[in-house]
């Protein structure tokens, strides 16, 4: 991580040895773009399809939530303090793939004579030890508590009227005129959370520091796997109370209904590219425990033809249902009106394509975003709103989800 900071394009993915999440690698580091694609939302998926096909190699990058505007007649007109491009992917010159005790190194031919020198440099960097050099960040709320309740009541009115039956409503916490140390901040966040889809992304002066627990979508051979999260409960230091909180989540009618609504949406999305009769719910509403929270996760799979382009699988399921709601288009329209911040990379996805057309992408949640030039730091949290939602409970759930990011930034 420390060695990689000399490059403008860096993506580090870490599963944190988390069991049960079908990771192909324990960790991946991709650095230094040989080729890349960076674009706004207009025709973005077609451009990505062409780039991925022509490159025919490992490519790493991200999809912002606002690529919804490429897929439907939607818009993103809310405030944006981060200014990430809508889509970015790159073909790395240098790639490190870690699985168990095996490190596989793939360098493009133009730089393959640099391997030994790079390894020597990496070995000479001392082990990371956290420090307290970062100054505490003063966090502001984009939506204050009273306004949050007003907006949630508006969302509930849409649900009661039948416009939608679920929507993910998000709010931003931010700091202006603020400088943070990205690697140190990421390491602290990762140490607190230890999630299965941790990500450090650097694109010139823009950074994503992510402790995501959620997989968006994975392709392995002809199998597609999607694992939406819906349903959250806080942890407790008291073992008996912690088990009780987990059991309450497992038995919560409201949380289960949230999850099942999104499972139905994902099944429908996957069916657009699936071979007939191949969409299956492998796991429904199973509760997994993470350092910060308990989460309810479902696993849906499908089979696709060899002729199906991998980008078509993504574009037909994007944005992921867990971050939109249902029906998806109606929910996204209402979200745009009620939210105050352009989501950008938050609630988008980060991941990679392999040379044999497999892919794996997370959901960008529990993440700190940073524009170093603008000195702007941001993290957003949200929750699924259904007819049974209580505004105060939803607000408290947001604070639980924000806890790790706030702790790290406030030092």
What is the biggest distance separating any 2 CA atoms in the chain, rounded to whole angstroms?
A: 65
Alpha carbons 85 and 241: distance in angstroms, whole number? 44
What per-residue confidence (pLDDT) applies to 5? 96
How does pLDDT run across 28-40, given as a tens digit for each residue?
999 999 999 999 9
0.85 surpassed by pTM:
yes
Instruction: Enumerate the active-site residues.
Output: 214, 230
Section 235-251 average pLDDT: 96
What per-residue confidence (pLDDT) applies to 411? 80
**Which domains does the chain carry?**
3-126+133-410 (3.60.120.10)
Alpha carbons 143 and 395: distance in angstroms, whole number? 11
How does pLDDT run across 79-121, given as a tens digit for each residue?
999 999 999 999 999 999 999 999 999 999 999 999 999 999 9
DSSP string, 368-405: EEEETTTTEEEEEEEEEE-TT--HHHHHHHHHHHHHHH
Return all residues near 231 (Cβ < 8 A) that are at least 6 apart.
249, 252, 255, 256, 258, 259, 285, 287, 295, 296
How does pLDDT run across 269-303, given as a tens digit for each residue?
999 999 999 999 999 999 999 988 999 999 999 99
DSSP string, 95-159: EEEEETTEEEEEE-GGGGGGHHHHHHHHHHSPPP---S-SPPP--EESS-HHHHHHHHHHHHHHH
- Are the CB atoms for 167 and 385 separated by under 8 Å? yes
Tell me the backbone φ, ψ of residue 219, rounded to 5 degrees: -120, 125
How does pLDDT run across 302-360, given as a tens digit for each residue?
999 999 999 999 999 999 999 999 999 999 999 999 999 999 999 999 999 999 999 99
Which of 346, 213, 328, 314 shows the shortest CA–CA distance to 264? 328
Residue 132 pLDDT class (50, 70, 90 cuts): low
């Amino acid at each position: 991580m420390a060695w990689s900071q000399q490059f403008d394009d860096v993506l580090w993915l870490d599963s944190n040895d988390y069991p049960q999440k079908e990771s192909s690698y324990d960790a991946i580091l991709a650095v230094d773009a040989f080729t890349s694609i960076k674009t706004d939302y207009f025709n973005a998926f077609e451009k990505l399809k062409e780039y991925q096909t022509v490159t025919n190699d490992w490519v790493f990058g991200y999809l912002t939530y606002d690529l919804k505007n490429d897929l439907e007649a939607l818009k993103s007109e809310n405030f944006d303090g981060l200014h990430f491009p809508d889509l970015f992917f790159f073909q790395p010159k240098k790639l490190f793939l870690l699985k168990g005790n095996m490190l596989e190194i793939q360098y493009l031919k133009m730089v393959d004579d640099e391997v030994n020198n790079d390894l020597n440099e990496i070995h000479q960097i001392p082990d990371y030890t956290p420090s307290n050099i970062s100054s505490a960040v003063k966090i502001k709320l984009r939506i204050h508590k009273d306004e949050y309740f007003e907006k949630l009541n508006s969302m509930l009115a849409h649900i009661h009227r039948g416009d939608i039956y679920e929507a993910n409503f998000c709010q931003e916490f931010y700091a202006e005129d603020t400088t943070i140390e990205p690697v140190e901040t990421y390491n602290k966040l990762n140490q607190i959370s230890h999630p299965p889809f941790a990500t450090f992304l650097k694109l010139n002066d823009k950074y994503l520091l992510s402790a995501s627990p959620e997989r968006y979508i994975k392709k392995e051979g002809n199998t597609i796997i999607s694992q939406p999260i819906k349903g959250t409960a806080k942890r407790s230091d008291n073992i008996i109370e912690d088990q009780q909180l987990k059991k309450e989540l497992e038995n919560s009618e409201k949380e289960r209904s949230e999850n099942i609504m999104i499972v139905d949406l994902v099944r429908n999305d996957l069916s657009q590219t699936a071979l007939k009769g191949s969409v299956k719910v492998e796991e429904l509403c199973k509760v997994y425990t993470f350092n910060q929270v308990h989460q309810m996760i479902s696993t849906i799979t499908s089979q696709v033809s060899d002729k199906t382009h991998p980008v078509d699988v993504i574009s037909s399921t994007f944005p992921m249902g867990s971050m939109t709601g249902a029906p998806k288009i109606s929910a996204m329209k209402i979200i745009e009106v009620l939210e105050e911040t352009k989501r950008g990379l938050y609630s988008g996805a980060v991941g990679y394509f392999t040379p044999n057309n497999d892919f794996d992408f997370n959901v960008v949640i529990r993440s700190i975003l940073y524009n170093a030039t603008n000195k702007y730091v941001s993290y957003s949290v949200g929750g699924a709103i259904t007819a049974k939602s209580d505004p105060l409970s939803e607000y408290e759930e947001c604070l639980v989800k924000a806890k790790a990011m706030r702790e790290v930034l406030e030092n």
